[in-house]
Structure 1
């Protein structure tokens, strides 16, 4: 009897350990929790997820570009529907396709810093993080002639250290509305991407999409559905900078420029 109890306990421990080591890689290597929660950073204005506003405005954002085919296609669609957007660009790609980034700025869109190599910030040193931000900024300046104050860390990873670094560099961390993560990088299908945005559209949303997804044009095709439908519903597509200028006062009575 005693042997059976010991054997049962041993099996239970083994099963627990096995369940841990067989956990998905994404779970085992998930980003560490930020030092403080969203409310803390949001109230201080350190990080922006969305902008409370009474106006029917929405900010489409595109990460990881530019792409030589998909980015121009997206720019053509935005122009067709008189829409503005924000492109968070990767410096190593900007260096290869500077004319596309120049076009983004020329046509009235925001260009934001998305680092130079798209690293995981929780796995690199502060010096390396600073280098990534600086090189990303330099690539934008070289392509467009001016800097950006908008910054989106890869994967939405943020910590006190990154917030402090961003402030030192004069950058505003821009993330996205939690209900507007299209996960288009997973190539879930054109309709799923479009429905995610349309069904969840709220005033002041920041939508996360990507203009560079390997071997996928689903985002481009989804925009052909999103843009006319939301425009029909009365939404105006604005840049993140324009959205930030439409914040409500704490009393929620009027809107002010910042």
Structure 2
């Protein structure tokens, strides 16, 4: 009987450790979708930068089209290209925490995951540059991640439309069709130089730039607002 109780207790703890953040993710994703529909809005978001090639060209495209976006950056990339992050902020884009080294919280210990979150946060030196948004790598979080985010006053941000550009990119028309059908959304893309997996990892930069331009055109032609993620948060 004691063995059964121990097994059930262990199972319950595991469900809480991983299940509670999954429930929070589902709740927040639903809220983001509802906010997009209510405002007829599209939020462009980019993970894993800043890169040396994609991010500057993306910044130029967004700036030239007067379009705001949200970038979730990795601390180790800020070390290499802090000037790119500064330029994103000067253009009015939001910059959020995407950890120091892109650790998967489901595979790392809680202390390692916490250090990865704080490591990225420290890269923002000025008080007005400290991000209030956090997107967990791979969308994976645990109870420890949630508590750490609360302590750091970070708001979790997920997405509602996945372009799959990091592993099995979707056709641009498919993404546009989903935005049209669902009445807007928070779009996930990546501004790293190239994905490390997937059947078509080449021409990643071209895909992200073309998709971004296509979404902007679609939004402007169909009376959608282009917003930053924080504009959707209440």
TM-score range, shorter chain: 0.7 to 0.9
1:127 is paired with a residue whose SS is: helix
Distance in 1 between the 2:173 and 2:231 partners?
25
What is aligned with 2:132?
Answer: 149
What is aligned with 2:210?
Answer: 221
What is aligned with 1:174?
Answer: 157
Match among 238, 243, 246 for residue 227 of structure 2: 238
What is aligned with 1:59?
Answer: 43
Between Structure 1 and Structure 2, whose CA radius of gyration is higher?
1
Distance in 2 between the 1:112 and 1:48 partners?
20
Q: 1:56 to 1:35 in 2, by over 3 A?
A: same
RMSD: 2.4
Shift of 1:38: 4.8
Tell me the number of residue pairs that the alignment of Structure 1 and Structure 2 aligns. 206
Whether the 8 Å contact between 1:49 and 1:174 is mirrored in structure 2 is: no
- TM-score, reference length from structure 1: 0.72
1:227 is paired with a residue whose SS is: helix
What is aligned with 1:197?
Answer: 175
Q: 1:49 to 1:125 in 2, by over 3 A?
A: farther
Shift of 1:144: 8.3
Whether the 8 Å contact between 2:21 and 2:141 is mirrored in structure 1 is: no
Shift of 1:197: 2.6
Shift of 1:39: 4.8
Shift of 1:213: 4.1
Long gaps (5+) in structure 1: 1-31, 245-257
Long gaps (5+) in structure 2: 1-15, 195-201
Whether the 8 Å contact between 1:65 and 1:88 is mirrored in structure 2 is: yes
Is 1:158 paired with 2:147?
no
